[in-house]
Amino acid sequence: MINIDNKSNVPIYQQIVDQIKEEILKGLLQSGDRLPSVREMSSRITANPNTVSRAYTELERQKVIETIRGKGTYVTSDYKPIMEAERMENLKDNIKKIIVEAKYMGISKEKIVDMVNSVYESIGSDSFDEKYSKK
Amino acid sequence: MINIDNKSNVPIYQQIVDQIKEEILKGLLQSGDRLPSVREMSSRITANPNTVSRAYTELERQKVIETIRGKGTYVTSDYKPIMEAERMENLKDNIKKIIVEAKYMGISKEKIVDMVNSVYESIGSDSFDEKYSKK
Amino acid sequence: MINIDNKSNVPIYQQIVDQIKEEILKGLLQSGDRLPSVREMSSRITANPNTVSRAYTELERQKVIETIRGKGTYVTSDYKPIMEAERMENLKDNIKKIIVEAKYMGISKEKIVDMVNSVYESIGSDSFDEKYSKK
Amino acid sequence: MINIDNKSNVPIYQQIVDQIKEEILKGLLQSGDRLPSVREMSSRITANPNTVSRAYTELERQKVIETIRGKGTYVTSDYKPIMEAERMENLKDNIKKIIVEAKYMGISKEKIVDMVNSVYESIGSDSFDEKYSKK
DNA sequence: GTGGTCTAGACCACC
DNA sequence: GTGGTCTAGACCACG
């Protein structure tokens, strides 16, 4: 269930990307499942088709979904984790930003780790992890 | 030592805000220390004075620094951790985004926690924590 | 053995055209050989009959195959190399695109020529060349 | 000098991408050079700004150009050749397609190699190659 | 002035 | 029916 916040400063297309990736992790969308068509999705979330299209294009670039000509878009059936150096850098940067913020809010390291754990579980430690996560 | 990346998609004013907060956490800037004037800072990092000004304004809003008219800008001496509901929501959102990305990169929960720990230590567990961190 | 990739951004009809031409070059299909009927081919590769039909039409336009009403479709028996100016332009354009890409990948001219040679041989220097290739 | 063919079936944004990459190879655009602004380019080639923007976005994704906030877009100053397995596959596919076409036009292997050589030189064996091409 | 995002509406290729 | 491309016009954040 995609949920758009028009007031957010996060672009709509990015919100769509984020939420679809999350739904896949949670198992709400599974390998091979068909996504709503661009037009259907756009009417559901009352956004412009172009905006949805942009989100789908970005997801396809990340190899999270695939387009089959004239049929629609589907969750990639053989997703392979992509760990580029640049992406890793980015992740570390984001972790740093979070920790800086957390410190300013007076949150201890233990509390942060707790939050990470609980968020991690809430996103679903299901089949996705078993397949792709490096222990 | 503020370091600006013009090519980053993070706004310059935001980079300044982030890095000043980080310097305070690391103890490089301490309570009561005077920040460079807008003009000096802008020439140091070769940025537009308006941009530096915007960063200072934002830091002031967050009560991280204070401006004393005619004297200059100083690191707040009686900083109190601010934990508003909204800010907490934001933090959780950001943690979620990080974990979603990490999962798509095939990174395990343990690895993430490791990274959080190492980043946490690198930012400095000094005087700042002792004063403000809620155990 | 036609092999369709539904996920490719190359249209299915184009994939059929390309692969039939390749099979002829390799000698798997020879002058006068009968192609599977539209219906048979479409069920073999699980594609829409209209799609196969479109591919055959295109091959006919290029004089690679011929349809004899009521009998079927056959590989042209008296194929003559067609070298129109337009087609030549097109070829040069495509070579240029390849070389631009190769340069951006850091591939040397020698390596490209090597690749051209090996691909050329792999497609088969058999009877087809002897008949039609201008030395 | 970007030149758009509206009748081509190659998307306009793709034509822009191709031609800018070519201009860089030829040395007409050099490391650090500023590209025309989106608006200027769009009026020059009489295309919509969105279309130009899409081309620039794609070039940025390929790390060929960089955007500096509020200032404009520039040719990347420290370009590093990117050779991913997938990109290599793609290149080989394209070489195959070209050779199939060439064979059908009755062009000999030697002629193809000649064309590759002459196109390679025409695109410029200048500084770009010296820096990036693997001998 | 710069690029980034979004909407509205249109046309097209493909299946 | 599907997604892909393009135009026109608008608003916004950034420097």
Say if residues A69 and B95 touch (Cβ distance below 8 Å). Answer: no
C to B contact (≥3 Cβ pairs closer than 8 Å): no
**What is the nearest CA distance from B6 to chain D, expressed in angstroms?**
6
- The per-residue pLDDT of chain D, averaged, comes to 93
pLDDT in tens, D41-88: 999 999 999 999 999 999 999 999 999 988 999 999 999 999 999 999
Answer for D56: CB within 7 Å of strand F: no
CA–CA gap between residue C39 and residue D76 (Å, rounded): 52
The dotted CATH code for C12-75 is 1.10.10.10
Q: Which residue has the higher pLDDT, B52 or C78?
A: B52
State yes or no: pLDDT of C126 exceeds 70.
Answer: no
What is the average pLDDT across B23-41? 94
State yes or no: pLDDT of B17 exceeds 90.
Answer: yes
Q: How confident is the model at residue B79 (pLDDT cuts 50, 70, 90)?
A: confident
pLDDT at A132: 76
DSSP state at residue A63: T
State yes or no: pLDDT of A134 exceeds 70.
Answer: no
- The per-residue pLDDT of chain A, averaged, comes to 93
CA–CA gap between residue C103 and residue D22 (Å, rounded): 10
DSSP state at residue A134: B
Specify whether the backbone of D35 is left (phi greater than 0), alpha (psi in -120 to 50) or beta: beta
Q: Cite residues whose beta carbon is less than 7 Å from strand E.
A: A 11-14, 47-51, 54, 69-71; C 11-14, 47-48, 50-51, 54; D 9, 35, 37-40, 49-50, 53, 56-57, 60, 67, 70-73
- The per-residue pLDDT of chain B, averaged, comes to 91
Chain C neighbours (≥3 Cβ pairs under 8 A) are A, D
**What is the end-to-end Cα distance of chain B in Å, rounded?**
31
Q: In 3D, which of C133, C94, C97 has the Cα closest to residue D105? A: C133
Record the pTM.
Answer: 0.93
pLDDT at C59: 97
Q: In 3D, which of C97, A90, B81 has the Cα closest to residue D90? A: C97
All CATH 1.10.10.10 domain ranges in chain C, comma separated: 12-75
If residue A65 lies in a helix (H) or strand (E), which one and from where to where? strand A65-68
Say if residues C20 and C119 touch (Cβ distance below 8 Å). Answer: no
Say if residues C27 and C42 touch (Cβ distance below 8 Å). Answer: no
What is the average pLDDT across C119-127? 79
Above pLDDT 90, what percent of chain B?
A: 79
Q: Kindly report which amino acid residue has its CA closest to the C1' atom of nucleotide F15.
A: D70
Which residue in B7, B10, B15 has the most chain D C-beta atoms within 10 A of its own C-beta, making it the best mutation to test that interface? B7
Q: In 3D, which of C49, A41, A49, A104 has the Cα closest to residue B76? A: A104
State whether residue C3 sits within 8 Å of chain D by CB.
Answer: no
